Amino acid sequence: MPYPPQGYGPTAAVTAAEVWAYITRRLTNLDDVRAARIDEITAARLGELDPANLPADVAANLTAILARVTTAHFDASEFETEWQTNPVVNNVASAAETPLTAGSITPTYPSGAAEVRAILLPMIKAASQAAATHHIGIKIQYRTGGAGPWSDLPLDLTTNPPLGLVAVDGAVDSWAHPVDVTAIVSSGVQVEFRFAVDSDDASSVNYTTSFLLALVYRMG
């Protein structure tokens, strides 16, 4: 069927499919020759792009181009790996600041990785063991290398206590918040984290704590 269809409009000899094909070719600027060439693109012809089916120099260039595109995309991607300490329960019956059991993590980046950031998610739950009201301030402390003095992370929540327990035996409250610890985390170096709690009542409270450390990195 010649394109465009002859005459001033469709006739009995022109099918709807042919009219649709004509409109499509006009909109995509395809003539019969171009359309025929596109029709020649088959799975078998695409298979010829396999480097094994190309001359050595063309195959090498194609492989190099694919490698550069893949590497550029890979280098721009961010990856994440995580560690979490096992939950630990401590009982405290004191109105003074009291450090709890620490959680220990030795994070490692993959070989060749570039560090982007390290995020700590500290988690604590308080459960009263007596009918007493508590307002509990917290600090998060750390040290590296498994020894030495403890330091406070820049998140002091003792002035405005984030945990509160009503005067009911078994009352519970919990707190968790991400903290940027990029400056203190190094690949292959042990780092310990702990809570220090400070209640305004000396009645017995059980504290359950755990820490999750997430490392974000790029490769390449």
> pLDDT tens-digit profile of 99-141?
999 999 999 988 888 888 999 999 999 999 999 999 999 999 9
The CATH 2.60.120 domain(s) of the chain lie at: 79-219
Which range of 16-20, 51-55, 142-146 scores highest in mean pLDDT? It is 142-146
Computed over every residue of the chain, the mean pLDDT equals: 82
> In this structure, how many other beta carbons lie within 10 angstroms of the beta carbon of residue 179?
16
Q: In the chain, how many H helices and how many E strands?
A: 4, 12
Higher pLDDT, 26 or 192: 192
Which residues, at least 6 apart from 217, have a Cβ–Cβ distance to it below 8 Å? 78, 79, 80, 81, 109, 110, 113, 114, 115, 116
10 Å CB burial of residue 158 (0-12, 13-18, 19+) is middle
CATH 1.25.40 correct for 79-219: no
Which residues partner with 163 through β-bridges?
A: 136
pLDDT at residue 154 in the model: 87
User: pLDDT-based confidence at 53, cuts 50/70/90?
Assistant: low
Residue 148's contacts (CB-CB under 8 Å, 6 or more residues apart) are none
In the chain, % of residues over pLDDT 90: 52
Structure-token match 């195959």, residue found? 59
User: Is the pLDDT reported for residue 4 higher than 90?
Assistant: no
